[in-house]
Structure 1
């Protein structure tokens, strides 16, 4: 993988594929390999397939079945565990780098914010401007161009310090949805924060998560798992009550009420399969002070 100098910072890059987006994957890799002033180590993970994408020098991991996005990314990060890279970057296979200095600028942001174990670029559509609210990793999402401390993340384009990622145990095995909130909580519980580098852009097609047939069920199920894994006991019913109400209201407009109810039931029935590590109350206070109380 290219680098401009022997002293370039190492960045492991994990890219998942199901061989379903050949044009987008080609753009993702082409713009990745154009990145300057970093030493890139790429792993391509075939989630239930043998990757058709071929990149010289890349590590290839073939999973015999689709383990879901979070676990697929975990397997990729594990494959590059011994590279010695300081950072690991998780790249959606339909995202792309609009400039050759994106990764190096994220590294610079990480140097400026040493308490931040993860650096989140601003995700936009291909027009370099459109940013849906769900892509802004904070509650006050009205101005996506405003940088600052954040307490969640956009999972498909995020850079995480390798030591913090490993100490947090990687991504939760949620298959799809809300694994970014889970990881952010555990990184904050290390006594650290997240940083939103709004001046650093990444491109991604603007699509709706509800296009996935499993969206409503998995999103509701994973809310229960998220609460059980991370929240102190008194906050679990508060969190689930708020999100049950929000989901019901959204269902009136967009449908999916039955699937969401099924997901909540499934999550509650299987919650004890998840490892419970409640946030410290000090972390709850810090998240609240940062504008993201962990009941929203």
Structure 2
């Protein structure tokens, strides 16, 4: 099987110019070059970016999934990319063989849809929440999983043609689950490969002002869109209990419940629940779609 051609999509809001410059340099230093690199400016003109990449400035902030969709559509329209790599603009590739490893992984498995990177801080440590398993004892354990990290991953372009792109209405939060569940339901594999490292500062998702509202709203949308009806109350009930046990701030609890009810009031988009065999497959992989 020939080695796949690679494309890169990076979305930025223009507020991390030094980090973005370093990331683009680390993409450029790869020992296997990308066919094309697309930089999306979410409500930013990209006028200060000097790197030789395809720049697409957007007048409005479409959110992370919406911005990435613009980049993926650009790669699809070009027709010369088989695998799309998406990277957070404040990350850094610390090795020069990342793209070569991705080529080898996809060449070896024609059913490979998504590859998740390991994300580590500047000290090489991987936070517990960055490991896509329920019991992440060893961040170096590679293998098939049911989830991936939005900050650094690769997509098969044929897979995206089948599953569709990111759910742009989510804006921020759980868009990875929606796309990952669609991939699994279509028979594609999701692999976690810890040798692919994106260095990224250790941050908390709750640093975003809309975190609690969007997390709750999007979780309801995800359940309504993708779960068989009997699993919807189980999934949402589980996460209500987990969230109430973890959240200490009354303001954050209020924001979460506001998003939860918003998720029921508003349209979640087209409903296409996963097959029961996908539920069983996810269960065998260690994470049934109730957690």
TM range (shorter): over 0.9
Q: Residue 15 of structure 2 corresponds to which residue in structure 1?
A: 20
Structure 1's unaligned 5+ residue stretches are 1-6
Q: Is the 8 A contact 1:115 1:193 kept in 2?
A: yes
For 1:279, the equivalent position in structure 2 comes to 274
RMSD: 1.6
Kept in 1, the 8 Å contact 2:4–2:107? The answer is no
Which 5+ residue runs of structure 2 have no aligned equivalent? none
Show the counterpart of 2:43.
Answer: 48
**1:55 Cα offset (Å):** 4.4
Normalised by the length of structure 2, the TM-score is 0.94
> Match of 1:288?
283
Which of the residues 75, 84, 90 maps onto 1:80? 75
8 Å Cα contact 1:28/1:97 also seen in 2: yes
* Partners of 1:232 and 1:67 in 2: CA distance: 29
Paired residues for 1:203-282 under 5 Å: 203-252=199-248, 256-270=252-266, 272-282=267-277
1:152 aligned to which of 147, 155, 180: 147
Q: 1:252 deviation in Å?
A: 3.1
| Partner SS for 2:214 | helix
- Kindly state the Cα deviation for residue 45 of structure 1 after the two structures are TM-superposed: 0.6
Instruction: Tell me the secondary structure at the aligned position of residue 153 of structure 2.
Output: strand
Contact 1:12/1:41 (<8 A) preserved: yes
Partner of 1:3: none
Residue 190 (structure 1) aligns with: 186
- 1:120 positional shift: 1.1
Q: How do residues 76-115 of structure 1 correspond to structure 2 at under 5 angstroms?
A: 76-81=71-76, 82-115=78-111
Aligned-partner Cα distance in 1 for 2:250–2:141: 30
Q: CA deviation at 1:48?
A: 1.2
Q: Provide the aligned length of Structure 1 versus Structure 2.
A: 288
CA deviations over 1:154-181 (Å, ceiling 9, x no partner): 0110001111023211111210011111
Q: 2:122 is paired with a residue of what secondary structure?
A: coil
Distance in 1 between residues matched to 2:131 and 2:195, nearest whole Å: 13
* CA distance in structure 2 between the partners assigned to 1:203 and 1:104 by the alignment: 18
TM-score relative to the length of structure 1 = 0.93
Distance of 1:281 and 1:86 partners within structure 2: 30
Which piece of structure 1 moves more, 250-259 or 45-54?
250-259
Q: Is the 8 A contact 2:3 2:107 kept in 1?
A: no
Alpha-carbon distance in 1 for matches of 2:140, 2:68: 28
- Cα deviation 1:86-127 (Å, max 9, x = unaligned): 100111100111011111112212223332201112111122
What is the alpha-carbon distance in structure 2 between the residues aligned to residue 8 and residue 150 of structure 1? Answer: 24
C-alpha deviation, 1:282, in angstroms: 0.8
d(CA) in 2 for partners of 1:254, 1:188: 37
Q: SS of 2:5's equivalent?
A: strand
1:6-26 deviations in whole A, cap 9, x for unaligned?
x87421111111110011001
Is the contact made by 2:4 and 2:106 (CA closer than 8 Å) also made in structure 1?
A: no
- Kept in 2, the 8 Å contact 1:12–1:88? The answer is yes
Contact 2:24/2:51 (<8 A) preserved: no
SS at match of 1:39: coil
By how many angstroms is 1:140 displaced?
Answer: 2.0
In the alignment, is the contact (CA less than 8 A) between 1:113 and 1:195 conserved in 2?
no
Deviation digits for residues 206-232 of structure 1, max 9, x if unmatched?
A: 111111111111111110011011001
- Cα displacement (A) at 1:57: 4.0
User: Measured at CA, do residues 33 and 186 of structure 1 come closer, stay the same or move farther in structure 2, by a change above 3 Å?
Assistant: same
